[in-house]
Structures are given as structure tokens and as C-alpha cells.
């Protein structure tokens, strides 16, 4: 991989004050910056700048009907662009900063450019916990739109090298903060008056949400969708993926879990948080392996296991 490392040196900058200043300047002048969060790397731009947002969609090859998440430093800033009822405020106060995205109505004077929300009258807001992303929000003073920093439909990046590999020559300045700790994308929750609905399972689990709200939540969405991106084949390696595989065939790279050892084990001790952290890196490795296909061991669906199974199911779906 020495070739790609050379290239990484060209684009990636180690976390440090100067790198933050350079990145903030780039964002303020309408540029893109790839930045780590606690979940995955994001491809950030000023959410009020229409041409910067167009550049995100172009760089990712993302369909323009799939809206973006806007990142904010705290709930007070979030209230400038989204309307928080009591339930939304309760969730934000409990889980922010952290891997929870809240879909709320836009404010009437929301300055975010319409392409960010793909024409919806709601906006997806997240206050990330990663110190580097927090510093960038503060230094830039911007509301930062940031989808995962990969080509649309591909595996999400949990290292700077993954960003470089997926975006190739289109990769912008990458702030290298090392490996993302949580490893799967934020839980997306839509606020529906005084109830809520999980649109994407993630690190904040169904059980967490039920405990804090005292509500079961509206059943996860099926066919009527407001975020079309949720249903497409996604997080997909270039090879076929077979899930719930206790055994593998000779032409399969086997991703293991617990007692199912595999060629690479997500967590030998059967720890789901550890498995989530390792998930996308393992898919990247499996994708680059010599075997023609990928098999993945069964993974329990409890807790963050729901998010792992959601991503694997999408990875296994052919478009």
C-alpha cells in the first residue's frame, strides 16, 4: 500500500491546531474537508453554501434526493436551524454530544441551503462528540453538513486511509484523527409530535431511547420513506456478501464473531461494541482479499447488534 500512503501524505493532515485552522479556512471559503467523528469520517462543507453542498453530492456521486446531516456544536446552536419540542430537547440533552441524529422541523428562517434537506421541511441534526469535529465546528463557526466520506453506496470510512481509497483523486483535505471509536453511523431518530421513530439503527440503541423517553417509539419504517437512501443497497463491498454464515466456502473471506473464528474476527470475546468498531475496517479488508466473495458470521441483534445487522443486511443486498 505504499503508493496510497504517499498519496495520503498529500491529502491527510495530522490533528493539530494548524490543521484545524487550515481546515476551517477551507470550509469558510466553500471547500470540502474530510473529518473524523466518533462514528465514521464525514465529508464536511458549509451547509449554507449551495455550491459547496453541490460539491459534496458530486464528490460522493450521491443522488440529490438523499438529504444530509447537519452537525452543530450544541443544542443552542441547533435551535437556530431546527425546532425542538420537549421530546427532542430531552433526547438532545441526554445523548448530545454523541452518536444521535435528530430529525426535526426546520425553523422558518433556517439558513441551510435547500439541497441539504433535499426539499424536505425537516432537518437532520447531530452534535458529534469527537473533539476534532468539535474544534472544527468552533473554529469555523459554521453549521457543517457532512455525509460519510465515501463514494455513495460504498463502505463507510473509519480511517483516513479509507477516505482516501474511496474518494481517490476527488479526496479533499483529510484531517487524520486516527480510527473512529464507535465505528457505525449515528442512530437517526425522527421526532413525530410527542413520539419518535428510528429511521436508522445505530450506537444509541432502541433500549436507550425507550429508557429515556418512557415510550416504545413508532415502529421502524417500512415502505413509506422520507429518506430514500435508507432503502437502497448500501455499505456495499464490490463483492457478494452472505450473512449469518457459521461456515465459509473456499472462495469466501470469512468475517467471524465470537466462537465463529473466521479469517478475521470482529470480536473474539463476542463484544458487540468492539464488533461495531471493527465492522467497516473488516469489510474493507475482506473487499481487498483474494477470495471472490465475503461471508459474515451470525451476530446477535441486541443493543448495537441491531445497527451491525442493519449495515450487513444492506451490504448483502444487490442493487
Give the contact letters, 246-265, x = binds to ligand TXA (CB under 6 A), - = no.
Answer: --------------------
Residue 237 makes contact with ligand TXA by CB under 6 A: no
- What gap in Å lies between CA 127 and CA 104, rounded to an integer? 14
Which listed range, 24-32, 81-89, 119-127, 262-270, lies at the site for ligand TXA (CB under 6 A)? 119-127
- Note whether 49 binds ligand TXA by CB under 6 A: no
Residues 197-226 that bind ligand TXA (CB under 6 A): 199, 226
Partner interacting with residue 103 (select from Mg ion, ligand TXA, none; CB below 5-8 Å by kind): ligand TXA
Q: Per-residue x/- marks for Mg ion, 142-181, CB under 5 A?
A: ------x---------------------------------
Q: Which option in ligand TXA, Mg ion, none does residue 286 bind, with CB closer than 5 to 8 A by kind? A: none
Give the per-residue contact string, 75-104, with ligand TXA (x = CB under 6 A; - = no): ------------------------x-x-x-
Binding to ligand TXA by CB under 6 A, coded x per residue (else -) over 143-182, reads ---xxx----------------------------------
In the complex, the smallest distance separating the C-beta of residue 154 from ligand TXA, rounded to whole angstroms, is 11
Binding site for ligand TXA (CB under 6 A): 37, 39-40, 42, 66-69, 99, 101, 103, 117, 120, 122-124, 126, 128, 146-148, 185-186, 188, 199, 226-227, 229-230
Binding site for Mg ion (CB under 5 A): 148
Amino acid at each position: 500500500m505504499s503508493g496510497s500512503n504517499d498519496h495520503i501524505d498529500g491529502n491527510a493532515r495530522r490533528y493539530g491546531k494548524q490543521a484545524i485552522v487550515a481546515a476551517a479556512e477551507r470550509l469558510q471559503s466553500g471547500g470540502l474537508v474530510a473529518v473524523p467523528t466518533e462514528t465514521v469520517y464525514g465529508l464536511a462543507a458549509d451547509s449554507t453554501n449551495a455550491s459547496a453542498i453541490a460539491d459534496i453530492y458530486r464528490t460522493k456521486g450521491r443522488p440529490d434526493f438523499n438529504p444530509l446531516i447537519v452537525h452543530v456544536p450544541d443544542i443552542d446552536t441547533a435551535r437556530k436551524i431546527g425546532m425542538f419540542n420537549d421530546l427532542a430537547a430531552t433526547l438532545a440533552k441526554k445523548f448530545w454530544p454523541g452518536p444521535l441524529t435528530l430529525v426535526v422541523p426546520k425553523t422558518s428562517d433556517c439558513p441551510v441551503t435547500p439541497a441539504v434537506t433535499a426539499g424536505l421541511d425537516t432537518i437532520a441534526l447531530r452534535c458529534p462528540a469527537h473533539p476534532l469535529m468539535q474544534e472544527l465546528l468552533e473554529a469555523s463557526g459554521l453549521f457543517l453538513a457532512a455525509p460519510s466520506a465515501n463514494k455513495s453506496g460504498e463502505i463507510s470510512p473509519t480511517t483516513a486511509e479509507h477516505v482516501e481509497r474511496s474518494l481517490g483523486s476527488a479526496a479533499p483535505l483529510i484531517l487524520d484523527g486516527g480510527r473512529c471509536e464507535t465505528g457505525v453511523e449515528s442512530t437517526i431518530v425522527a421526532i413525530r409530535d410527542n413520539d419518535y421513530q428510528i429511521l436508522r439503527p445505530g450506537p444509541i440503541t432502541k433500549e436507550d431511547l425507550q429508557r429515556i423517553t418512557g415510550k416504545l417509539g413508532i415502529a421502524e419504517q417500512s415502505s413509506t420513506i422520507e429518506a430514500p437512501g435508507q432503502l437502497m443497497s448500501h455499505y456495499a463491498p464490490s463483492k457478494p456478501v452472505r450473512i449469518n454464515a457459521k461456515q465459509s466456502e473456499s472462495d469466501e473471506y470469512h468475517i467471524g464473531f465470537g466462537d465463529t473464528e473466521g479469517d478475521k474476527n470482529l470480536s473474539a470475546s463476542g463484544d458487540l461494541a468492539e464488533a461495531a468498531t471493527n465492522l467497516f475496517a473488516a469489510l474493507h479488508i475482506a473487499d481487498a482479499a483474494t477470495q471472490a466473495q465475503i461471508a459474515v458470521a451470525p451476530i446477535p441483534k441486541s443493543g448495537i447488534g441491531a445497527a451491525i445487522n442493519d449495515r450487513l443486511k444492506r451490504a448483502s443486498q444487490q442493487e
